[in-house]
Structure 1
């Protein structure tokens, strides 16, 4: 769920960024004011939640605004735009907090996340290691829950008409449900004794990212701009393929990308023995026995990682995944051609940005 690449494709203009930040600040100010009389733990939770919300690239709000502009929306008569855009940032932050908890991570971007902050706080209060871990986990669950609610509250309170609100809540419903299903599938696929097949892994890859990162924010901007139902349907279909292609490229980066590109150790997915569509494709090749042996050694260090990378590359699995990404983005472009010029250009820009990340 990392965002650094996204700013190169699309970002909020300064005035729009300020408007979204004001909407987010209003949420955090209200929460802080309500937490202060409830004691230090409540205030610490809201402050940690605010830290999690700060510093992001605001990609999903940028998509809301970009789609709104592309479909001819009038910013001078769209006060609700900024609250809806901010809602998608809160949704993203909630998922990131919960994702860190699921992955047992206590840092993000090199600093303690909500769980890590509350582990330290518990230890400072005299709690032992096991108890501190429990406190940190509880804080992460609760911070994510608060932001999920606040995202829904922003949509509920936004200055939009009744029909738009119904459509926006439908998008939010899908974003939450499908993303949760995808995350659960991803965890199960990592732990079940039987190897999931490529179709299952591709479905989870889509569900984890596509709806909340692409389909829903794009469609939300289109709803606010008054786009017709047909164009919104095309946008949702294109967004689904964009999200899948993004996740597949992310898998390639996790296996073959540099540390700078991945934002973590090179070959991190190999070190962590992640089950990805790439590995599923490799399993179907005649070279699987050699690949399997190399993958088993990958967690031992960089030389073993490089050996596994060479085996995967030589098997043709990497090329197969790159081909699938190409087919998926070709589908995006075919569907986008049905849209008016400005939305078409927006989708093309997103497709080109994803394509440009392939390692």
Structure 2
């Protein structure tokens, strides 16, 4: 999608930005230094999907780095936005680890215990630290857009994209949590809307559009790209839902069937609810938290219901739409190629 040199530039830019924050923290006390160190770890590594999409789209639309010096700062802004969302999401889910290592909340719970705090105090400090770390990174993402050397009109359009990314994602996350605590079953359309809003805009639509804006793409191309980004984002999140139910531990970053153990109301479950097998599926999910045997039983019943196949078919149709839109004459050939590559990337994720 991008060359190794561009990936290295993305990593260097993010490191430089986090170093600026760490330098600022040095005079604000040891706890804040520890917070920024934990934030650096949260932002390190990873696939860098969102910043790579910014750069790949910029290149596909004929952007020239020497003419748009702020491109990598904008790319970094989308990675910091993602990191902030992940940190806050862990607080919402009461998670203290991510992929087997302590996250920001987990690190600060340990810090609190070292200072003699009890369980409640440790949880309080862990959650507070994670919320504040996410807040700092959200601020820094905004600051990067505000100060990037990109010109007034491009900055305005980028802030519109950033605005959508933050507001729509927050709305999706809130809806998802509300669904999880409700004793009633939300409509399937509401579950699919929350699934889309949580991820699609900030993961695909906004980064792709940001790169195109930086490269000077016209309105027709941006509209076509945004629509394709929405479809990619939906397929990406639906694939995540299949990973959460059926993926391996390596894919999911935790024990297989995590979404079933937590009885999450996902699109997969919404599709199963409309089948003749729902009663058995529902009963199996209700006890999936008891262990791997119960999880496997729930997986088998979901498979038998046809919901897994139906969701996979929906992903396939959605990606077919992306591939069709890649031939839109408003897009340069390189942008069409990028969309096809991304459709293939999402397809390979489906368990």
Instruction: Report the TM range for the smaller structure's normalisation.
Output: over 0.9
Q: How does 1:125-136 map to 2 (within 5 A)?
A: 125-136=115-126
Q: How does 1:123-202 map to 2 (within 5 A)?
A: 123-202=113-192
Shift in Å at residue 295 of structure 1?
A: 1.8
1:62 equivalent to 2:52? Answer yes
Question: Separation in 2 of the partners of 1:109 and 1:312?
Answer: 26
Q: Is the 8 A contact 2:100 2:254 kept in 1?
A: no
Count of residue pairs the alignment pairs up: 349
Question: Separation in 2 of the partners of 1:54 and 1:257?
Answer: 24
Shift in Å at residue 77 of structure 1?
A: 2.3
Question: Separation in 1 of the partners of 2:5 and 2:247?
Answer: 34
Structure 2 unmatched ranges of 5 or more = none
Partner of 2:343: 351
Partner of 1:248: 238
Q: Is the 8 A contact 2:100 2:253 kept in 1?
A: no
Shift in Å at residue 191 of structure 1?
A: 0.7
Q: Is the 8 A contact 2:58 2:212 kept in 1?
A: yes
Shift in Å at residue 324 of structure 1?
A: 1.3
Partner of 2:66: 76
Partner of 1:93: 83
Question: Separation in 1 of the partners of 2:279 and 2:254?
Answer: 28
Structure 1 unmatched ranges of 5 or more = 1-9
Aligned residues: CA RMSD: 1.2
Shift in Å at residue 110 of structure 1?
A: 1.7
SS in 2 for 1:337: coil
Q: Which moved more, 1:227-236 or 1:349-358?
A: 349-358
SS in 2 for 1:196: coil
Partner of 2:102: 112
Deviations 1:178-227 (A, max 9, x none): 11111111111111111112101100110011011000100000011111
Q: Which moved more, 1:28-37 or 1:210-219?
A: 28-37
Shift in Å at residue 239 of structure 1?
A: 0.5
Shift in Å at residue 243 of structure 1?
A: 0.6
Partner of 1:318: 308
Question: Separation in 1 of the partners of 2:219 and 2:226?
Answer: 11
Shift in Å at residue 73 of structure 1?
A: 0.8
Using structure 1 for the length normalisation, give the TM-score: 0.94
Shift in Å at residue 150 of structure 1?
A: 0.2
Partner of 1:41: 31
Question: Separation in 1 of the partners of 2:111 and 2:280?
Answer: 47
Shift in Å at residue 340 of structure 1?
A: 2.2
Shift in Å at residue 18 of structure 1?
A: 2.7
Q: 2:10 aligns with which of 14, 20, 45?
A: 20
Question: Separation in 2 of the partners of 1:13 and 1:28?
Answer: 23
1:52 equivalent to 2:42? Answer yes
